[in-house]
Amino acid sequence: MLIGGDWVSAQSGKVFPSENPYVGKVWANVPDGGAEDIDAAVVAARSAFEGEWGALSAQARGKLMLRLGDLIAENAEEIARVESTDNGKLYKEMLAQAQYLPEWLYYFAGVADKFGGEVIPSERANFHIYTRHEPIGVIGAITPWNSPVLLLGFKLAPALAAGCTMVVKPSEHTPASTLRFAQLFEEAGFPPGVFNVVTGGRDAGEALSKHPGINKIAFTGSDVTGKRVMQAAAENFTRVTLELGGKSPNIVFEDADMEAAANGVIAGIFGATGQTCMAGSRLLVQSSIKEELLEKVAARAKTIKLGDPMDMATEMGPMATRPQFEKVMGIIDRAKSGGARFVSGGRASPDHDGFFIEATIVDDITADMEIAKDEIFGPVLSVLTFDTEEEAIQLANDTRFGLAAGIWTQSGQRGTRVAHKVRAGTVWINAYRVVAPNVPFGGFGHSGIGRENGFDAIRGYTETKAVWVELTGATRDPFNIG
């Protein structure tokens, strides 16, 4: 683990295994950190925040971030290989993410010295009033197993730009790529303690969430775990950003470009094996075109190539973890028992070892069924129909989540109307699964609190301070000092 610039074992001496989900076997052992390791990392991060890192100008921080971005680009292939081996997602997807990640460092490096306060007009002539945005302090980041390094970057880049330091606890299922990523900080020239990594399980995550030395927790994961993180953080009034799950609708109207919509539906749910918070896991299709669209989507789903994530020809890899594989199969089995019709898939792949599930499409369901309302985080598409625009909006919003939505229509007016009425943090019209460092990302309801990316993100890593300067210096009545 990386603590205060040193590579260390867990103080307990314990380690835990990480499985390669493609073969279902252990490929790495990493330190099993606990509360005492979290303590050490927080002390290191606080020391850097109050010391060398805190003394740097915004311009100097930005230059270090630019160097880190360059190093990520130079090492993208290796980071992607480690990540794909650890979580089973396609190497080509992990490589695309690693190659895109530098843009977060470049964007926020540019923001670092441009995010300032403002002068506020005063009703009192003897006062000059201005605001400062000061770094909130030490950040505790808890990252998920599906895209560990990219989703770490969503938190790290704005935090560094704001002047914060960080302790990250990656998922115990996929810790390896974060450790490889951490090696770049010393090479980039960051002061020790600015970035710290403690690997471990639930105990380490809880210790980080409730630590009194942490000023903000940035978490990505399920809404169930997000509640626990928020409850732990509340003990110390620790600020939180929660980027949680989704049950996002892909809404297809009868006037949509059918080929484009079919491709968007397939990419929205079967890309990344459905293991993405923004997965378009609910297909809401207008009744008049349901059979035509479903035929196209099902035909393509049945040809999706499963296999070795490192093979560039593979289109869908395994589930990232054994528990996730078992969870998804349980949901599928209960849907079968409930009378759902499986248009494709619905079983573990008989042709592969590891944690493979076939691309699955489920029809003849109701909106209150588990498979239609709960986040699955796997390659499972639930199909619901509507007749009118109003019904489509009602179905789209009939969820506790509100992370993302797709709308497929050739009417710009309809697309805009529906986008404004759907309760989701991101809405794509005739597109799906597009993000950028300068565009806010986050959700409504159980999909989280706060936003990552864009200026909204850096605001979340600062405290706003108002400064009143009395200009005359005149002696005043102590009970009326204004």
182-237 per-position pLDDT tens digit: 999 999 999 999 999 999 999 999 999 999 999 999 999 999 999 999 999 999 99
Quote the tokens at residue 137. Answer: 């302090």
| Shared fold status for 2-244+443-467 and 249-429 | no
CB atoms within 10 A of CB 247: 23
pLDDT at residue 6 greater than cutoff 80: yes
pLDDT on residue 475 = 66
pLDDT at residue 158 greater than cutoff 90: yes
**CA 281 – CA 380 distance, rounded (Å):** 7
* Local confidence band at 482 (pLDDT 50, 70, 90 cut-offs): low
Domain topology for 249-429:
Aldehyde Dehydrogenase; Chain A, domain 2 (3.40.309)
The answer to whether the beta carbons of residues 1 and 198 sit under 8 Å apart is yes
pLDDT at residue 121 greater than cutoff 90: yes
The model carries a pTM of 0.95
CB atoms within 10 A of CB 329: 17
Going from the C-alpha of 186 to that of each of 67, 78, 180, 181, 428, the distances in angstroms are 11, 17, 12, 11, 39
Longest dimension (CA), the chain: 86
Question: Considering the chain, what is the average pLDDT of its residues?
Answer: 96
19-68 per-position pLDDT tens digit: 999 999 999 999 999 999 999 999 999 999 999 999 999 999 999 999 99
pLDDT on residue 126 = 93
DSSP string, 361-392: EEES--TTSHHHHS---SSEEEEEEESSHHHH
Active site residues: 243, 277
CB atoms within 10 A of CB 444: 18
**CA 248 – CA 418 distance, rounded (Å):** 14
pLDDT at residue 258 greater than cutoff 90: yes
pLDDT at residue 479 greater than cutoff 80: no
The answer to whether the beta carbons of residues 18 and 148 sit under 8 Å apart is no
The answer to whether the beta carbons of residues 305 and 313 sit under 8 Å apart is yes
Per-domain residue ranges for the chain?
A: 2-244+443-467, 249-429
When pLDDT is averaged across residues 151-175 and rounded to a whole number, the result is: 98
pLDDT on residue 85 = 97
**3-state secondary structure (DSSP) of residue 405:** strand
**CA 301 – CA 383 distance, rounded (Å):** 14
Residue type, 261: A
**CA 222 – CA 392 distance, rounded (Å):** 26
Is the Cα dihedral 371, 373, 374, 377 positive or negative?
A: positive
64-110 per-position pLDDT tens digit: 999 999 999 999 999 999 999 999 999 999 999 999 999 999 999 99
User: 3-state secondary structure string, 183-216?
Assistant: HHHHHHCCCCCCEEECCCCHHHHHHHHCCCCCCE
**CA 271 – CA 317 distance, rounded (Å):** 9
When pLDDT is averaged across residues 442-465 and rounded to a whole number, the result is: 96
362-419 per-position pLDDT tens digit: 999 999 999 999 999 999 999 999 999 999 999 999 999 999 999 999 999 999 999 9
When pLDDT is averaged across residues 289-307 and rounded to a whole number, the result is: 97
Letter string b/e over residues 350-368, b meaning 16 or more CB atoms within 10 A of that residue's CB: eebebbbbbbbbbbebeee
**CA 178 – CA 185 distance, rounded (Å):** 12
347: CB partners within 8 A, 6+ apart: 332, 357, 358
pLDDT on residue 61 = 98
459: CB partners within 8 A, 6+ apart: 115, 133
DSSP string, 44-86: HHHHHHHTHHHHS-HHHHHHHHHHHHHHHHHTHHHHHHHHHHH
Q: Which of 348, 300, 353 is nearest to 325 (CA)?
A: 348
Percent of the chain topping pLDDT 90: 97
Class of CATH domain 2-244+443-467: alpha beta
